């Protein structure tokens, strides 16, 4: 129905009715159109019509709300022999190594897989590396090339403490780092 009226007004060349018809077709029950600015919205009326709000700092009831809030820091995991997810905590004897890979704030290994160019470029990234980054890159490259029996491409960013490998080697790198105790 609306399309017929719009089409007839277009045939009759009545541009004054076009905008009204388009507005009524887009939002039939809305009187004013908001122009995505606070200036177009209605001003706030008398604040006396709203109920009073009392800000309470430390009532006894607040402990029930605090239980529901997320903790400010990630709690340390409980010590167990085995974890159901396969996660392993870092060993304490990693101080004497020539390089170090720090865990993230969630106690995970900082090994990531990045996909770009619609999945055509796959890069494995190892971050948060300290110490001799070149030695770690050489050991990881040797391990991956030995398993794949072909050469791989790596990139070392010494300033940021990152190593990138061209390809998907996340499981190999995580296994190596977990075996080393990081």
CA distances from 82 to 79, 85, 94, 181 (A): 9, 9, 20, 15
- The owner of tokens 């780092």 is 177
pLDDT digits (tens, 9 = 90+) for 6-28: 555 555 555 555 555 555 555 44
CB atoms within 10 A of CB 124: 24
What residues contact residue 139 under an 8 Å CB cut-off, 6+ apart?
A: 176
- pLDDT grade for 124, boundaries at 50, 70 and 90: very high
Instruction: Please tell me the distance from the alpha carbon of residue 169 to that of residue 112, in angstroms, as a whole number.
Output: 9
Mean per-residue pLDDT of the chain: 82
Tokens at 144, concatenated: 């991956």
pLDDT digits (tens, 9 = 90+) for 100-116: 999 999 999 999 999 99
Predicted pLDDT of residue 168: 96
Region 147-151: what's the mean pLDDT?
A: 96
Predicted pLDDT of residue 15: 52
- 15-26 vs 2-11: helix axis angle to the nearest 10? 160
Helix (H) or strand (E) holding 86: none
- The owner of tokens 């390089």 is 99
Domains of the chain: 99-180 (3.30.780.10)
Does pLDDT of 122 surpass 70?
Answer: yes
């Amino acid at each position: 129905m609306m399309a017929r009226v719009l089409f007839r007004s277009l045939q009759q060349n009545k541009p004054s009715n076009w905008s009204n018809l388009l507005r009524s077709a887009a939002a039939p029950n809305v009187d004013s159109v908001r122009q995505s600015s606070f200036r177009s919205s209605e001003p706030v009326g008398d604040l006396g019509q709203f109920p009073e709000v009392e800000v309470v700092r430390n009532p006894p009831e607040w402990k029930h709300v605090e239980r529901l809030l997320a903790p400010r820091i990630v709690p340390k995991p409980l010590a167990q022999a085995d974890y159901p997810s396969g996660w392993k905590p870092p060993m304490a004897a990693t101080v004497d190594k020539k390089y170090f890979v720090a865990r993230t704030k969630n106690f995970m290994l900082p090994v990531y897989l990045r996909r770009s160019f619609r999945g055509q470029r796959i890069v494995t990234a190892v971050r948060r590396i300290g110490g001799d980054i070149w030695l770690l890159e050489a050991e990881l490259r040797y391990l991956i090339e030995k398993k794949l029996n072909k050469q791989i491409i790596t990139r070392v960013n010494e300033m940021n403490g990152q190593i990138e490998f061209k390809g998907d080697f996340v499981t190999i790198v995580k296994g190596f780092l977990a075996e080393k105790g990081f």
